[in-house]
Amino acid sequence: MKLELGNFYVKDIVFGDKTKYENGILTVDKEDCLAFVKRDPHITEADLRIVKPGDMVRLVPVKEAVECRVKVNGDALFPGYTGPLSQAGDGRTHCLKDMSLLAVGSHWGGFQDGLIDMGGEGAKYTYFSKLKNLVLVADTDEEFEKREQQKKNRAIREAVHKLAEYIGSCVKDMEPEEVESYELEPVIRRAPETEKLPSVVYVMQPQSQMEEMGYNDLCYGWDCNHMLPTFMNPNEVLDGAMISGSFMPCSSKWATYDFQNCPVIKRLYKEHGKTLNFLGVIMSNLNVALEQKERSALFVAQIAKSLGADAALVTEEGYGNPDADFTGCIVALEDAGVKTVGLTNECTGRDGKSDPLVSMDEKEDAIVSTGNVSELVELPPMPEVIGELEALARDGLSGGWAGDEILGPSVRPDGSIIMENNAMFCGDQIIGWSTKTVREF
């Protein structure tokens, strides 16, 4: 399985009369793209905006981020979701780099939505402030969700996934500026010099806790709540097999953009054949019942041992209840003789003094932390807000609140805000983007 990612580096985004890419400039036909989005009758209003690094703009409630791409052979960008099932991770995919397509609610948000500041002090908290962003701002007629804290956001999310492919099609027949190639030999047919290196497997635990369909991450369009741990070629993850779900406090989420550009996978590829033997990805899940958690941990350990893994890297999407899956998986791997490192954020309370994980074990002796979800973030007013600032306080965003006896409301009369890091869009960057470092006091 060989994946070629043909990259087109976007230097600027502008609106024009035709969607095209030329000399580093992505021109977007705004009216045409909005007409495409509004083919879904549940989209009641929609607009497109452009924001760039350094712009003094605040976006909230942010629901999703996707990289605009197109499969050169005509297959669906997200097989089983935006089109018929096909094999992801093989062939040529063209990608518009250094930008993302964001989905923002124009009127209401929910527990799983977040905030991005493109400029000022808040820009340092999320990777997406470093990208040029085309922003779909939309509302729907899904009135049944409006007062619910948990929202599926079906229409907005599906619209942004399909629009990413629609825009990406402008480079389908062009020659890319750079081609990245990703190919792993079959596990049992590798060069002797590679097989002598430590064998490493990457265990991903995407969000799949919601038993009602429509909230969880998707694998080839299939709700991950239905899954048992599965061995996957890493190319599949990079090439649209995985789609982010709508559930999970926002700083802990993996956006679809993160799956498409997973830094951990790319780094393991870079080291393959040099310092390690990259076996592939075990795509696990996150569960609610203890027996389900134990079952998944056993499956992960068995697959890792069957592959001949010497070591594993385990990462979870979320915190709290998923910590039990995270811990159980690491313990099962260690018990199977697989040396394991964990990658996660932690929930240590606003004062930083609480236990970092809900569930811990002495065998978890190598954990990389990407930050505290409960850390308080205070930001000044922003000259422009895209979306609706009040959603942060009103609609149950995991890091916002309508009122607090000590701190007051998250959104103050002057437009300044105080919130938990929880509400920063993909703020803890657990997928591997994080630039946070430890400070000693």
- 41: helix, strand or coil: coil
* Distance of alpha carbon 305 from alpha carbon 298, whole angstroms: 11
Two tokens, residue 164: 């990413």
Angle at 110 between CA 106 and CA 114, to 5 degrees: 75
* Distance of alpha carbon 400 from alpha carbon 263, whole angstroms: 29
CA distances from 243 to 56, 82, 372 (A): 30, 11, 25
- 9: helix, strand or coil: strand
Residue 434: predicted pLDDT: 85
Give the sign of the dihedral formed by CA 186, CA 266, CA 179, CA 81.
positive
* Distance of alpha carbon 428 from alpha carbon 127, whole angstroms: 9
- Residue 335 carries which side chain, given as an amino acid letter? D
Cα 117 off chain centre by: 18
* Distance of alpha carbon 182 from alpha carbon 190, whole angstroms: 15
CB 302 within 8 A of CB 330: no
Q: Determine the length of the chain.
A: 441
Buried b (16+ CB within 10 A) or exposed e, 205-220: bbbbbbeeebbbbbbb
Residue 441: predicted pLDDT: 65
Residue 423: predicted pLDDT: 97
List strands edge to edge, sheet with 69-71. Answer: 69-71, 91-97, 2-9, 178-183
* Distance of alpha carbon 136 from alpha carbon 103, whole angstroms: 5
pLDDT < 70: residue spans in the chain: 441
- Other Cβ atoms less than 10 A from the Cβ of 319: the count is 25
- Other Cβ atoms less than 10 A from the Cβ of 73: the count is 11
Two tokens, residue 337: 């003789």
**Residue position matching structure tokens 């965003």:** 397
Angle at 284 between CA 281 and CA 286, to 5 degrees: 150
* Distance of alpha carbon 394 from alpha carbon 60, whole angstroms: 12
CB 406 within 8 A of CB 389: no
Q: To the nearest 10°, the Cα dihedral for 341, 342, 348, 353? A: -10
Residue 35: predicted pLDDT: 98
- Residue 115 carries which side chain, given as an amino acid letter? L
* Distance of alpha carbon 151 from alpha carbon 358, whole angstroms: 25
* Distance of alpha carbon 298 from alpha carbon 117, whole angstroms: 41
Give the sign of the dihedral formed by CA 119, CA 51, CA 151, CA 254.
negative
Of 112, 105, 115, nearest to 142 by C-alpha is 105
Residue 307: predicted pLDDT: 97
**What burial class does residue 87 get, using C-beta atoms within 10 Å of its C-beta: 0-12 exposed, 13-18 middle, 19+ buried?**
middle
